Structure 1
């Protein structure tokens, strides 16, 4: 389709190329690329009538619906600055996002899943320097005549998006993106996955997540549709996957595990007969999960590495080798420079672990807080991720953990991910999280938190250490503590395990 500088330009190009081809599927509803363009422009005209202009800051906290995509594209047509907020956030996080972004408008779903978002919006508005215009955008979007609209902006390099990193023990940070950075990320994802117009994708995570536009851009570039899930839960979601003949599914490692759990209920019948590829990122992928997906679901699995600041860093390709797909996060695209450095920021040799730093068009412009931006980039413009890993001779990236996830026991550095990967090879372990806990004698002790498959007897510390010894783990890395939980604490976006909650629970 050539190079597009803005998201709206991409929408217009695709609508002209394949106007009658479907793009969004939800229940009985089907929206074509042509209708996506036409309806989004009418919504833009309605928003224009309410005073929204280029540069207006519009926050929205909406579930994954066709209307949400239309509103977001309408804002892109106007050149507004939009600030998506995850629907599960409440007063503290939402109030923080509204204050920091200096939002003029706030679009909410009214009452959704038992919570009154409109009341929260009005309540929060009272505490802001200037009142918000609150829009109920669940079903009835603003509508108008596109003849009133000024021409679309041609500049894709201005900040038009404020995404929020999920807060754990501190306030979230506003991450600044442009149309060009999002298009660069979505384009790299589409290219890596080798998708075609015959595919049917799926968005089972919140569209307000950075993965939302990432995925939409892939649809626009390759001209295929995706099924939207307003609320994803197993096994209820399976009917929609089957109904629409989904060929590509995923989201993150937690989603892979959910598909596997459903498949294991009846191994003789494919859980989604049309499925040919699981793809995702956002959380570590143990090699055993890759092998289980290929073996039991009968499809390929490609996993990648991304973050709110850089939606697409590396991605596995479906035609790559089994060892690379199982043990790496894939390769970066040509436009992404990955540098592995020591603690002083100096590059380390290929194959040696270090901190991952990134530079490229998909990298964000920084944060709303200028001091956070200054601290996040080095003198050569590389984003300092805080993640650890190494590049192989073939250019594949291997993640080995996070700086804050390294356990220092008696002066020795221990990678939590190495132990987690080995724990996942135990037949009784469904999920594993390894954390460091304060210890007067050792500095930190290694604690393995386990979620077990149904029917598995609780694993004891001797059983766990025997399994890890047999798997070849060095003695000094063996856990001193094992805890079994019914369910891991997770966030609501890509279902990442919240290790800080485990540290709080077991660190006493």
Structure 2
């Protein structure tokens, strides 16, 4: 067991600046066992083109999986990673880990060698679950290629594999083991439950730690604000390896009376079919999904009468889109929410019939968080004044895996520095006006500009590089790379750069979509690149083209 992941609430970030904790003090495994006993045939999660996941069925699978992991020597506090799509096996693993007191480490399926190697090295995970193939990519081959640099990785567990691969274990074989019948002794709701990586301004992802209690509190905040009950089905197109999908997809049915519905990947026609097929009533996801849903509804006249809530976050949400959703979809209230992996669901939107304007023009009503606005000297600013948004609350992360990163991210009195600039309105809503962190939010995913720049700098013909956000019609933001080249460089187009990015094994969603070659980059007196000027230059160039 790695001590770094075994810390409990005693070292929680912001523990001194806290609202009443309001924790359930129970584990996912406890809730799952109760539901399996009281309602074994009840539907927990709907799947596309497959029988739904029932409480009894998934708990039986999880107990057998836990038995297999136990027989492999896994014990409380061990880290087990998984890089799976929105499949039932991810749900079974979450429950099995809760039974044994393991720490789960979800890895987004679009990550490739560079990101996966770093995460597995940083967590010192003892095992990883991967699909044999998904969307044409060979995950087993990737992990096999990385294993020489991963001395702590003892087991590679292949999910939905047709063949046995050397040095791996088939998921199906683990299910043949004697099932675990009870929760491991000493597992506490205050223990670390999950380590999830998020992009940071330092380039390398940060290891965000949540306990069972902090994660459940984040889920309860949404359930309370949106009155989710037995008639609700949460459509979940976001990956379950992302904080949104993990909480509102996997865990929701076990801690509430609502169910969820998984999509393996977003496709608007399939989303409409699933919404209609299962009567989905809610969705928490990225802005592009709502844009496409509204556009298709406008084109086809489909009104989706079951859908009553659509919470958008992670990328810019145009006010006009919120207005259009309410007009085109029969009874759906779309709204903006605000949060992060570290501080999930700080705001919960506005759902009232008389709150459409607030839903469209603010980033949501603050719910069960203590939010302050600070100036550059950490002095509190009055309502309506722009400053850095800092937050504290019972759903705040325990901290990062690196204590120094935790200290840097917190105010002296225990509030998390979000890196966003904004203000609080008289309605107790947050309005984001700028970003302090050097992050690009592409389709709801945080991308580190510095990580992209580090790859660009490794190109033999690039002597200076800056990655900046640019407007993207569908994804909110895209990546534009400004580069200064060596004299006589052959590089001249984005297409010529792409093979190099592939060679560096940078995940494709981080690749620049635009390349600007400059003779020099604007800088401050201290030599820092003026990215604000680069963004303004992009806007001016695009406006000139449009005009």
TM-score, normalising length: structure 1:
0.78
Question: Which deviates further from its counterpart, 160-169 or 50-59?
Answer: 160-169
Aligned-pair CA distance for 1:343: 0.8
1:98 corresponding residue in structure 2? 120
**41, 46, 55: which one aligns with 1:20:** 41
Matched, 1:54 2:76: yes
Instruction: Give me the whole-angstrom Cα distance separating, in 1, the residues matched to 2:359 and 2:295.
Output: 21
1:204 touches 1:251 (CA, 8 Å); kept in 2? yes
Give 1:223's aligned residue. Answer: 257
Higher relative contact order (Cα pairs below 8 Å, separated by 6+ residues): 2
CA pair 439-77 structure 1, distance change in 2 beyond 3 A: same
- Equivalent residues in 2 for 1:473-492, closer than 5 Å: 479-482=539-542
Of 426, 437, 446, the residue aligned with 1:393 is: 426
Which of 244, 254, 279 aligns to 1:211? It is: 244
Contact 1:78/1:153 (8 A) holds in 2: no
Q: How far has the Cα of 1:484 moved from its partner?
A: 9.9
Cα deviation, residue 212, structure 1: 2.6
After superposition, where does 1:412-427 map in structure 2 within 5 Å?
none
Q: Distance in 2 between matches of 1:315 and 1:362?
A: 13
Residue of structure 2 in register with 1:132 after alignment: 154
Match of 2:15 in 1: none
Are 1:379 and 2:409 matched, yes or no? no
1:321-356 Cα offsets, whole Å, 9 max, x none, are: 12221112222223x211111111111001111101
The match for 1:37 is: 59
Partner of 1:246: 280
Shift of 1:147: 4.9
- The residue number in structure 2 matching 1:81 is 103
Specify every segment of 5 or more residues in structure 2 that has no aligned partner in the other structure, as ranges.
1-21, 162-170, 440-470, 483-520
Instruction: After TM superposition, give the deviation of residue 403 of structure 1 in Å.
Output: 1.6
Q: Give 2:188's aligned residue.
A: 155
Q: Are 1:184 and 2:188 counterparts?
A: no
Of 393, 397, 409 in structure 2, the residue corresponding to residue 364 of structure 1 is 397
Question: Residues 129, 221 of structure 1: CA spacing in aligned structure 2 closer, same or farther, 3 A cutoff?
Answer: closer
Which residue of structure 1 lines up, in the alignment, with residue 340 of structure 2? 307
Counterpart Cα distance in 2 of 1:432 and 1:212 = 20
Shift of 1:17: 4.7
Q: Which residue is 1:409 aligned to?
A: none
Task: Pick from 182, 196, 219 the counterpart of residue 229 of structure 2.
Answer: 196
Q: How is 1:335-374 mapped onto 2 (pairs within 5 angstroms)?
A: 336-374=369-407
Conserved in 2, the CA contact under 8 Å of 1:45 and 1:149? no
> Which ranges of structure 1 fall in alignment gaps of 5 or more residues?
407-422, 451-478, 486-508
> 2 CA distance for matches of 1:435 and 1:59?
29
1:275 aligns with 2:296: no
CA 1:317–1:146 in structure 2 vs 1: closer, same or farther (change >3 Å)? farther
User: Does 1:291 pair with 2:351?
Assistant: no
Mapped to 1, the partners of 2:544 and 2:92 lie a distance apart of 44
For residue 431 of structure 1, report the CA deviation from its aligned partner. Answer: 6.9
Residues 405 and 288 (structure 1 numbering): CA distance in 2 closer, same or farther, change over 3 Å? farther
The 1:168/1:88 distance shift into structure 2, 3 A limit, reads: farther
Matches of 2:334 and 2:273, distance apart in 1: 21
Taking only aligned residues, the RMSD between alpha carbons, in angstroms, comes to: 3.1
Residues 124-155 of structure 1 deviation map (CA, whole Å, 9 limit, x = unaligned): 11112344310012474422333566645441
Partners of 2:144 and 2:478 in 1: CA distance: 42
Sort the Cα spacing of 1:117 and 1:190 in 2 relative to 1 into closer, same or farther, 3 A: same
Check the 8 A contact 2:63/2:180 in 1, yes or no.
no
More displaced 10-residue stretch of structure 1: 123-132 or 22-31: 123-132
Q: Distance in 1 between matches of 2:153 and 2:229?
A: 46
Hey, what does 1:462 align to over in structure 2? none
SS in structure 1 at match of 2:299: coil
For residue 245 of structure 1, report the CA deviation from its aligned partner.
Answer: 2.1
Aligned length: 435
In 2, the alpha carbon distance for the partners of 1:289 and 1:276 equals 16
2:88 maps to 1:66: yes
- Secondary structure at 2:149 match in 1: coil
> Using the alignment, how far apart are the partners of 2:310 and 2:328 within structure 1?
12
**TM-score (ref. length: structure 2):** 0.73
Question: Per-residue displacement from partner, 1:103-141 (whole Å, max 9, x unpaired)?
Answer: 111111112211111111122111123443100124744
Aligned to 1:457: none
Contact between 1:173 and 1:367, CA under 8 Å: does it hold in 2?
A: yes
> Which aligned pairs between 1:462-501 and structure 2 lie closer than 5 A?
479-482=539-542
Match of 1:257 among 291, 296, 310: 291
- CA offsets per residue over residues 211-257 of structure 1, 9 Å max, x none? 13321333223322221111222334332222222222341111111
Residue range with higher mean Cα deviation, 183-192 or 149-158: 149-158
